[in-house]
Structure 1
Amino acid sequence: MKILVCITNVPDTTAKISFTDNDTKLNKNGVQYIIGPYDDYALARGVEIKEQTGGTLTVLHVGEADADPQIRKALAIGADDAIRVNADPQDSYFTAAQIAHIARQNSYDLILMGRESIDFNSGVVHGLVGEMLGVPSYSPVMKLELNGTTATIAREIDGGKETLTVTLPLVLGCQEPIAEWKIPNMRGIMTARTKPLQVVEPVGLDEMTAPEKFTLPAPKGACKMIPAEDAASLIRLLQTEAKVL
């Protein structure tokens, strides 16, 4: 079994975000980065499957050298090796094309990633990769069990859940509760230092998108407290200020 887990390098959810270059680029100064939370679920399930079935698990990231600490963390959690495509991705198509190029070269049985990144939240990379490789892709996957080359998955759909039986190879976008996040232990941290991290140059593509401007959400307005017994004042404010009635 050859498993590929794709991870993102995203700002911590508690980080304060600002922009530079006329609001066209993220200001990375002082920002703490983490592995994307949904990718953490994919990585955890990938490690469990590798431990159960044998084989290898490779971590792939499309990004620059500042992501290396997060890649090393993934190695410490249980990945065998890692590949970093040395590029600053500007859109989902570019990212998917790099992943698909690596996947074609190595013929992975199972490609796992988060259902979406928590910075751009596009949620389309797994579908694009599946289309580029000509293999099925599903998301968001909440359960994954393997029996040889057959996978049983459960995913969310509008109005409920769907259980499918499909054949490898597959591309899956993962979310909780597919697995519990794993924390690297000291042995894993030490061995991660010697595990191979290969840096490769990207496949050349024309730029398809470019950000014009980033903006922060509007600040929250003041909160008015209305006594529970004063329903008339609440109705008046909803009519005259909030204008929702």
Structure 2
Amino acid sequence: MASHPSDHEPNRADLRKDPARVSGMFDQVAAGYDRTNTVLSLGNDRLWRAAMTRTVAPRRGQRILDLAAGTGVSSVALARSGASVVAADFSPGMIAEGRRKHRGFPNLSFVEADATALPFGDEKFDAVTISFGLRNVVEPKKALREMLRVTEPGGRLVVCEFSHPPSKTFSGLYRFYNDRVLPVVAKTVSSNADAYDYLNESIRDWPDQPTLAAWIREAGWTDVAYRNLSMGIVALHRATKPGAATGPR
């Protein structure tokens, strides 16, 4: 069984996405994670999070699962609607930081969870969302099936993930930023710059928008669609679980 590196040794995951190494890497960057993301995304992370929240369209009385929630920034945005939100992440460090930052926030709970083996019963949630986390899962197709299992019939899936800009010109500029600029900035603002080298690699290796849409359909979701944000740097995928919705409970 793989073990986490020591707290003092910088942890760098790779494209094999060993769960222990990926989790350990996120543990080490948890404290400054939100600030670093805002800097590296040039503030666009807030726009992407707002688009995700609008697409989920949370309502009071709904139960929503926010996977790969990190420190719970996206979960708080969803919980402000009055929906009951479970923020789940497989990094204990992220969960601990989220509980510390959002202690006492109503309708919000934190759970350590593996996206490929969710610790929830069948059909427990009106909506499931995952932002910038699916590409870090070692078996993303299995995770999509697990999300389907825990969603009630008629419930919704929203996946917000880095993708591939369709414009070749813009794609070249984006690749230059990721390859040359981002590593320099990460060394300045992050406690573990090597972690962001992995994240850059994982973005480059991730499938394009139509491929991810096909994966979602294969998992059993229907009404699959996506739209590009920031010229395709990010894609927002949405889908529905077959069957009639039973409504908020």
| Shorter-chain TM-score range | 0.3 to 0.5
Identify the structure with bigger relative contact order (alpha carbons < 8 Å, sequence gap 6+): 1
> Between Structure 1 and Structure 2, which shows a larger proportion of strand residues?
1
Structure possessing the higher radius of gyration over alpha carbons: 1
Q: TM-score, normalised by structure 1?
A: 0.33
Q: TM-score, normalised by structure 2?
A: 0.33
